[in-house]
Structure 1
Amino acid sequence: MSAEQLAEAVNAVPLVDHHVHGALVAELDRPALELLLTESDRPLPAGTTQFDSQLGFAVRRWCAPLLDLEPHVDPDDYVARRAELGAAEVTRRMLAASGVAHHLVETGFGGADVLSPAGMARASGARADEVVRLESVLEDLVRSGASAGQLPERFREALAGRTASAVGLKSVVAYRHGFDVDPRRPTDAEVVAAAGEWLRGCENAGRVRVDHPVLLRFLLWCGVDRGLPLQLHAGYGDPDLDLHRCDPLLLTDFIRLVEPTGVDLLLLHCYPFHRNAGYLAQVFPHVHLDVGLAVNHVGARAAAVVAESLELAPFGKVLFSSDAFGPAELHYLGAHLWRRALHRTLARWVDDGEWSTSDAVRVADLLGHANARRVYHLRDASA
């Protein structure tokens, strides 16, 4: 098989994006688009542009041709063409070009501003299933009037109902506290006491946002009890988290406690701790990882991150995700840049005689879709 044939094989993999959010419904002007090309939630410094970043360059290089523009087009011309086509058409083009065959859509963020799993399926022509965020289920339950004393039992019931057709669960404990949380399962009495304290704080703050460490532990263990694969944001994210507390190595005791249950844990994104995540995936049978989110933001350096994710982790434990949220450029680039990075990595190892071409193709299939189908018990669309 030639280098060109290897590239064709990687590009032909029907990707399962095992962690993604909905594409944005609204139209975007340039300032709004730029704010979605960074994990920062702060205004840009005067005289700077988010197009001057790895992700900004990638949008101009790889997304512009999908909008009938030349590569490296001027940002203003790109935004003008985007507005001319309209958000729905841009989304359709980007999703279709991504080559994603199955979206596992986490629905805990964005609400009606982004496409639902069904909306993603319609816009892309691909399959879509839901991943339910644990924290959102609890927050919705409290908004419906659940008291502290009712919370443990009512949450278990609510979670069972919300996940009746879901393929996985997600926790943002890394954002709400950090991984340096007590890994043990709390008692219901501890949960009730913590809920009373937390609800009083919610009343004072005027918002419902679960961040009490005892309640976060409760959610994690309810997720484990539910038996679905459990996704955990790790590493890089917006300024709402403390990055040094998002190293997945801090989860080691929790990982050990979960192991006898057989529930799979999926460490999402992981950058810059992806090598640490690779270690955990190697030594614990139920731990898996991806480098989604990072791939978009490192742009032309994606091959380095993808290669590093394949150093320690067994190849049956690494999955593809984009973690795209908002403009559909991120959904397309998450897939396109990952494919390019994977091909460059595999081709180098094949050229060096380290790998056979057939093994390279087989690993691309594992990472691109087969591992996700196994972990999430997904039916192959061709079956």
Structure 2
Amino acid sequence: MLDLRTIPIFDHHAHPLLPAEATAVPQTFQRWFTESSDPLVHKRDTPHSLFLRSGVRWLAEFLDCEATLEAVLEARGQRPYTQWINALFKDARIEHVLCDYGYLSDDGYDAEKMQAVLPCPVQPILRIESLAEKLICEQAAFFTFVEAFQEALSKAQAEGIVAFKSIVAYRSGLEVKRPSTRDAHDAFNRLKEIANCSDNVRLDDKPLNDFLLGIMVEEAARRQMPIQFHTGFGDQDADLRTANPLGLRSLIEQTDAPLVLLHAGWPYYRELAHLTAVYPHVYIDLSLAIPFATTGIPTMLREILGMTPLNKILFATDAFTMPEIYWLAARWGRWGLSKVLTEFVAEGFLTQPEALHTAEAILFANARDLYQQK
């Protein structure tokens, strides 16, 4: 197979780490090898997943220890955590990270801490739902809220934000409409009542969600800032019935802002490959599907690469919580991509130089160019 180990990775979609002690025992470590939030799944089912079993074996090889989770954690714990993070990132050749801090736990690493522990540049992504929830709590009235939201978006690029992100798929679905200002105002009032009672709020009212997306899309188009949209599977509260990327078709046709549809839309990667092929400003991201699809990754990649222009496919890890997820996602990604590109060369679809150029584009150059990080 083609050797892709020396090709660097531009990880354009990832999440913050937690301290080492947060994943220092088997129960807390293996919990992150599933998207389920059910403790029974974490305890009973996850140890039987291919993702965890292969991950333990590969980490044991890297640490030169026995291939058990207990031995891996013991060997890992003997190294200073920052040194361990650096070893994994350098081995994976992850050379640039874009990080979404929109769901930051109390012990999660903020932007300053992430940059301090990672051996590569780390730049922020702005999750608009988190911004809006903060402003709903702070602003007394709808129109001052909208003004503050618009101002924050307009300042984002100057403050170092390189992309916007939306998780509307989780909150009210991807079939985004054009609500009236009146409907958005009413939705704000409903959420404001909740915020006044609890000091926090979840932005899950469709008229306000869709209204704010319209503002964000206009600002992104004006500045040609990429927008990342969650599509397809994800955390347990993701409803696949409303997360099909085809739901974004109306929005896609109303803007020329660069739209990066995340997670290959898995399991709707065929639909997303079509959207990427026919709309010039739509891009397909491979994160989360890589690594969670494990041995199914080559099947997915064959179809995506067969349909989609190769300059519009972006690898990322969607890693979170612990550095091992970054490393394992990079390993699964290189394996799947190498397997498929090697087959393409053998079949005569690509020359070997073209295949290597494609790997470099998907792993690094496409994201570098899209996010203007040359």
- Mapped contact 1:25–1:88 kept (Cα < 8 A): no
Equivalent residue runs for 1:292-331 within 5 Å: 292-331=287-326
Does residue 43 (structure 1) correspond to residue 42 (structure 2)? The answer is no
Does residue 56 (structure 1) correspond to residue 52 (structure 2)? The answer is yes
| 1:207 corresponding residue in structure 2 | 200
The percentage of aligned residue pairs carrying the same residue is: 30
| 1:198 corresponding residue in structure 2 | 191
Structure 1 pair 140/206, CA: closer, same or farther in 2 (3 Å)?
closer
Counting matched residue pairs gives: 366
Does residue 243 (structure 1) correspond to residue 237 (structure 2)? The answer is no
Equivalent residue runs for 1:280-359 within 5 Å: 280-359=275-354
Residue of structure 1 aligned with 2:250, choices 250, 253, 257? 253
CA RMSD of aligned residues (A): 2.1
Cα distance in 2 for partners of 1:286, 1:266 equals: 8
Residue of structure 1 aligned with 2:136, choices 137, 142, 155? 142
Structure 1 pair 47/237, CA: closer, same or farther in 2 (3 Å)?
closer
Residue of structure 1 aligned with 2:26, choices 30, 53, 58? 30
Does residue 90 (structure 1) correspond to residue 87 (structure 2)? The answer is no
- Mapped contact 1:152–1:191 kept (Cα < 8 A): no
Cα distance in 2 for partners of 1:245, 1:181 equals: 11
Residue of structure 1 aligned with 2:114, choices 93, 117, 120? 120
SS in 1 for 2:99: strand
Amino acid across the alignment from 1:155: F
How far does residue 263 in structure 1 lie from its aligned partner after superposition? Answer: 0.6
How far does residue 36 in structure 1 lie from its aligned partner after superposition? Answer: 1.3
Cα distance in 2 for partners of 1:202, 1:138 equals: 12
**1:26-60 CA distances to partner (integer Å, 9 max, x unpaired)?**
41221111211111111125972523212102311
- Mapped contact 1:315–1:363 kept (Cα < 8 A): yes
Residue of structure 2 aligned with 1:230, choices 227, 231, 234? 227
SS in 2 for 1:257: coil
**1:141-192 CA distances to partner (integer Å, 9 max, x unpaired)?**
123344334211111112333443111010000001111332x2x4544432
Structure 1 pair 344/117, CA: closer, same or farther in 2 (3 Å)?
farther
SS in 1 for 2:7: coil
Note the residue ranges of structure 1 that are not aligned, 5 or more in a row: none
SS in 1 for 2:335: helix
Does residue 267 (structure 1) correspond to residue 261 (structure 2)? The answer is yes
Cα distance in 2 for partners of 1:120, 1:47 equals: 29
**1:312-367 CA distances to partner (integer Å, 9 max, x unpaired)?**
11111110111001111111111111011101110111122221101101111211
- Mapped contact 1:13–1:365 kept (Cα < 8 A): yes
Amino acid across the alignment from 2:134: D
SS in 2 for 1:19: strand
**1:76-104 CA distances to partner (integer Å, 9 max, x unpaired)?**
22223233335434323222222111101
Cα distance in 2 for partners of 1:46, 1:356 equals: 44
| 2:209 corresponding residue in structure 1 | 216
| 1:378 corresponding residue in structure 2 | 373
TM-score when normalising by structure 2: 0.91
Residue of structure 1 aligned with 2:101, choices 92, 101, 107? 107
Query: If each structure's helix is expressed as a fraction of its own residues, which one has the higher value?
Result: 2
Note the residue ranges of structure 2 that are not aligned, 5 or more in a row: none
SS in 1 for 2:307: coil
SS in 2 for 1:150: helix
Structure 1 pair 26/148, CA: closer, same or farther in 2 (3 Å)?
farther
Does residue 67 (structure 1) correspond to residue 83 (structure 2)? The answer is no
Amino acid across the alignment from 1:209: R
Does residue 170 (structure 1) correspond to residue 165 (structure 2)? The answer is yes
How far does residue 278 in structure 1 lie from its aligned partner after superposition? Answer: 0.3
**Deviating more after overlay: 266-275 vs 135-144:** 135-144
Structure 1 pair 47/145, CA: closer, same or farther in 2 (3 Å)?
closer
- Mapped contact 1:295–1:305 kept (Cα < 8 A): no
